[in-house]
Amino acid sequence: MDFELKNIPSQKGRVAIVTGANNGIGFETTLALANYGFKVIMACRSLEKAEKAKSAILEKLPNADLDILQLDLSDLNSVKTFAQQFKDNYSKLDVLINNAGVLIYSGKKNKEGIELQFATNHLGPFLLTNLLFELIPDDSNSRIVALSSLAHKGAKIHFDDLSCEKSDDPDAAYGQSKLANLMFADELNRRLKKSGKEIVALAVHPGGSDSGLFDEMSKLKYYTFKILSPLILNSNAAAAKPSLFAALSPNVKGGEYFGPQGFQEFKGKVGVAKRSEYSKREDVAVDLWKLSEEMTGQPFLR
């Protein structure tokens, strides 16, 4: 299975949101969607960076239809404000790509005291999807895409220790947040189908890419990635392909997990990705869903 970007018909008249659209994979995803005719709302924490990214896209695509709305996924109030602003300005949402994420090792927490990666990578997208759901047409071409990661493998949801403070693994919190992305997409798709909806929810991972997530790595890990990156990592444009496949391919049904098919899934053609056995546990996904509803204060597809 591969995905040829040139074979996609015009998407003019359709509306997409890409979170974290100002750099890395989000930038390349936005560029591609705009090239197909989407109106793309660039949901970014920094308006200054978003404006620079918009200008860069317009230099390549002068007719790109782009809007910017501020969104800090770590702040649930910011998510609510963004959702209301979107509803005030747009009547529908055809594609939601929950792309933005953070990778940190400093034990940071958001304003509510929630571990920052879990808040930003999972709770923010969970609430955003919930608040915008009513605007998504009930159609199989409507897509909700969650960006997971190879880091989900070996991870679990630490229900009694969401900050992973008891874990000796410095990657535990990030892995947990990316596992949550995958399990959210799975459970969302199950609930959509159970309710008779045709909307498609699915997850992807970009493989390995230097998308700006590695700034807080230890120096040893950071420079190892930099030295090896030409050999093992995707370009950001290639890393955006799984997201674009999920958003645009007519050959998806929902509940799938796609990513690169090359060595260790770092790069290569897009296809069905490998997932951990733990990530398949529906009981954990249901518990995660309930916890997410409690933490965001919003019921969703019950």
Q: Please identify every residue annotated as catalytic.
A: 174
Q: What is the 3-state secondary structure (H, E, C) of 82-145?
A: HHHHHHHHCCCCCEEEECCCCCCCCCCECCCCCEHHHHHHHHHHHHHHHHHHHHCCCCCCCEEE
Q: Tokens in use for 64?
A: 């790109």
Distances (CA, A) of 204 to 22, 287, 298: 19, 22, 25
Q: Where are the alpha helices (DSSP H) in 166-218?
A: 172-194
d(C-alpha 119, C-alpha 125), whole Å: 9
CB 25 within 8 A of CB 99: yes
**Cβ density class 255-277: b for 16+ within 10 Å, e for less:** bbbbbbbeeebbbbebbebebee
Helix (H) or strand (E) holding 258: strand 257-260
Place of tokens 């390995």: 208
d(C-alpha 117, C-alpha 162), whole Å: 10
Helix (H) or strand (E) holding 270: strand 270-272
d(C-alpha 25, C-alpha 18), whole Å: 10
Q: Tokens in use for 279?
A: 């990530």
Distances (CA, A) of 225 to 15, 53, 215: 36, 25, 11
| Cα pseudo-dihedral 249, 255, 261, 267, rounded to 10 | 80
